[in-house]
Structure 1
Amino acid sequence: MVAQQHRRKGGTVALAAVLGAMAVGGCSAGVSGPADGRPRLDTVQGQAGQVADGRSDEVRTAADRLIAAGSARTRTSMETAAGGTRVTIRGEGGYDFTRREGRLTVVLPKDPAGMEARRPVTELMTPGALYMKNRGAGVPADKWVRVDTTTLEDGNLVTGGATDPLAAAELLRSARNVVYLGEETLDGATVRHYRGDADIARAALAAEPHARASLAAAAKGFARDAVPFEAYLDERGRLRKVLHRFTFTNGGGTVEVASTTLLYDFGAPVVVRLPDRRDIYAGKIRG
């Protein structure tokens, strides 16, 4: 597995345990094919398969609807493929959209030999910072690693093996070329299915203050600002599922990562307790 290098102010840090599971991109399971070749029209007819500029505001305000909902449970997956082998990192937990904090348990794939089971990584997501426990690679088992997401080249959109759910919604503020694909049923709920492109640089300008710095960093780090997405919104305009396809460069090649976030059980309590300073590992992280 390849350790992805992220430049920090004053140095470079390798986050290999999570990042190293991702080499090249694939398509997330359960989501229809690639977002290439979709129509790009300028008018709205409001029917499935046509550009939905008249409904684009529903997509662009998805983050506001989540904040109004308060909190939700979440499941995530991040998928890549290398040499014909598909690798998926899965997470599950909850997110408090009012406090902009979340907690996930992220399950890494087995080691390359397929023998060693890796302990799940606990991740705490907060504005500007990501905390990880059971990080491995030289980090004591009882310690946390803290990463300043505003210094990561991807703004933590892929670093932790899961996209911050609120950041995923903030990206949609820059939605363009939005196509309405019709109504579907998702986990028993009727949802409206949209497809389009988000622009990372534009999203950074339009995002709420808590997300601007991280998205601005991502706008500089990815190979392309355009991020194809598929979004599913319920009757209240709440984001129930979103798939983003990120593209960045690594070792001179182009890497694509498909990140899927599902949200459900809105209003469920979510408790995020940040670690004490003494519990944060300050030593060197092995690549």
Structure 2
Amino acid sequence: MAQRQHRWAGAVAVAGLVASVCAGTAGCAGSGAAAEGGRGPEGGRATTDPVGTLHRAADTLVGAGSSQARTSMEMATGGTRVTIRGEGVYDYRHRLGRLKVVLPQDPAGESRHRPITELLTPEALFMKNRGAGVPADKWVRVETASLSDGNLVTGGATDPLAAAEVLRGTRTAAYLGRTELAGTAVRHYRGTADLTVAARNATGGNRASLAAAAKGFATARVPFDAYLDDQGRIRKVRYRFSFVNGQHGRAVAVASTTLLYGFGAPVDVRLPASRDIYAGRVAEE
């Protein structure tokens, strides 16, 4: 049967609120505290070699095993800001995650959408409660490499490991000092990553996804703010992605934020059997 997957942010059509021009905001500002380079495994490299430190961030997460995660994706149009929020867990070693994603309310303040359950893998995104006409017990499956953004924005949340692997493409970065995030001391970095380089250096299925994003976005250069703890683990990363709206041909921006905490959290992600995957048409909402 024919299958047409609905791209949320890629088509900028979330809950009927987001139109042609979207803009993401900048991340949190770090403090101007003096550099302290002798703490944690990174030691002095964290301050003297920010690019190298960020290149290693994804490997550090794999070493950590797993974590809990919160995500947000922000867009704005016509003076109305739209935020999609997600929360769940991720296993970096097995490259599997589960998020519950909540779509924004309508202008009247009412929620017309049930939370969407997403299962994340490098090769595919599985969504439940996604799309009109999909049976309640069925999943929608999307090949991430087939998406022009590599699923960095389509799912309404950026896969935590993919978010880390984008930093493998860091071209320039500056260390802005130490600050505190949710009670944890972190180092704040600001820079620009190149998705083409990130795809070349990524692992497993993320290579194809990031390569698709490098071609599909308005630019392969991605500004970011990243906050790493003294073990070199990402605690927060915020990207400003830019893509071309197909309807109007104008570049629009989405700000994606990923927060990681609770390292070592248990993760139990079971992918749906083929009989539980919906093969029909997914209607526009």
Same fold (TM over 0.5): yes
Q: Which amino acid aligns with 2:25?
A: C
> Where does the alignment leave 5 or more consecutive residues of structure 1 unmatched?
1-9, 34-44
Q: For 1:7-156, what aligned pairs fall within 5 Å after superposition?
A: 13-16=5-8, 20-21=13-14, 22-23=18-19, 24-27=22-25, 31-32=28-29, 54-156=49-151
> Where does the alignment leave 5 or more consecutive residues of structure 2 unmatched?
38-46
Q: Which amino acid aligns with 2:275?
A: R
Structure 1 residues 247 and 53, CA, compared in 2 at 3 Å: closer, same or farther? farther
Any idea what the Cα deviations from partners look like across 1:196-237, whole Å, max 9, x if unmatched?
001011110011123101011111100001000000000100
Q: For 1:206-221, what aligned pairs fall within 5 Å after superposition?
A: 206-221=201-216
* Contact 2:238–2:258 (8 Å) recurs in 1: yes
Offset of residue 12 of structure 1: 6.0
C-alpha RMSD of matched pairs (Å): 2.4
Give the length in aligned residue pairs: 264
1:283 matched to 2:280? The reply is yes
For residues 225 and 16 of structure 1, the distance between their equivalents in structure 2, rounded to whole angstroms, comes to: 20
Which residue of structure 1 lines up, in the alignment, with residue 41 of structure 2? none
Q: Which amino acid aligns with 2:151?
A: N
* Contact 1:133–1:145 (8 Å) recurs in 2: yes
SS of aligned partner of 2:112 = coil
Q: Answer 1 or 2: higher relative contact order, Cα 8 Å, separation at least 6.
A: 2
Quick check: 85-94 or 17-26, which moved more?
A: 17-26
For residues 237 and 107 of structure 1, the distance between their equivalents in structure 2, rounded to whole angstroms, comes to: 30
Q: For 1:188-267, what aligned pairs fall within 5 Å after superposition?
A: 188-250=183-245, 251=247, 252-267=249-264
* Contact 1:46–1:54 (8 Å) recurs in 2: no
For residues 80 and 207 of structure 2, the distance between their equivalents in structure 1, rounded to whole angstroms, comes to: 35
Any idea what the Cα deviations from partners look like across 1:105-145, whole Å, max 9, x if unmatched?
00001235543431100000012100000103221111100
* Contact 2:4–2:282 (8 Å) recurs in 1: no
* Contact 1:111–1:118 (8 Å) recurs in 2: no
Which residue of structure 2 lines up, in the alignment, with residue 39 of structure 1? none
* Contact 2:188–2:226 (8 Å) recurs in 1: yes
Q: Which amino acid aligns with 2:13?
A: G
* Contact 1:205–1:212 (8 Å) recurs in 2: yes
Q: Which amino acid aligns with 2:175?
A: Y
Q: Which amino acid aligns with 1:281?
A: Y
For residues 253 and 220 of structure 1, the distance between their equivalents in structure 2, rounded to whole angstroms, comes to: 16
TM-score by length of 1: 0.86
SS of aligned partner of 2:49 = helix
For residues 147 and 54 of structure 1, the distance between their equivalents in structure 2, rounded to whole angstroms, comes to: 38
Q: Which amino acid aligns with 2:95?
A: R
* Contact 1:15–1:285 (8 Å) recurs in 2: no
Give structure 1 regions of 4+ aligned residues with deviation exceeding 4 angstroms. Answer: 16-19, 45-48
Q: Which amino acid aligns with 2:168?
A: R
Offset of residue 248 of structure 1: 0.2
Which residue of structure 2 lines up, in the alignment, with residue 273 of structure 1? 270
Q: Percent same amino acid among aligned pairs?
A: 60
Offset of residue 20 of structure 1: 1.9
For residues 276 and 192 of structure 2, the distance between their equivalents in structure 1, rounded to whole angstroms, comes to: 40
* Contact 2:50–2:189 (8 Å) recurs in 1: no
Offset of residue 278 of structure 1: 1.0
For residues 228 and 112 of structure 1, the distance between their equivalents in structure 2, rounded to whole angstroms, comes to: 30
Q: Which amino acid aligns with 1:279?
A: D
For residues 62 and 189 of structure 2, the distance between their equivalents in structure 1, rounded to whole angstroms, comes to: 20
Structure 1 residues 198 and 53, CA, compared in 2 at 3 Å: closer, same or farther? farther
Offset of residue 26 of structure 1: 2.2
Offset of residue 166 of structure 1: 0.3
For residues 23 and 48 of structure 2, the distance between their equivalents in structure 1, rounded to whole angstroms, comes to: 29
Which residue of structure 2 lines up, in the alignment, with residue 187 of structure 1? 182
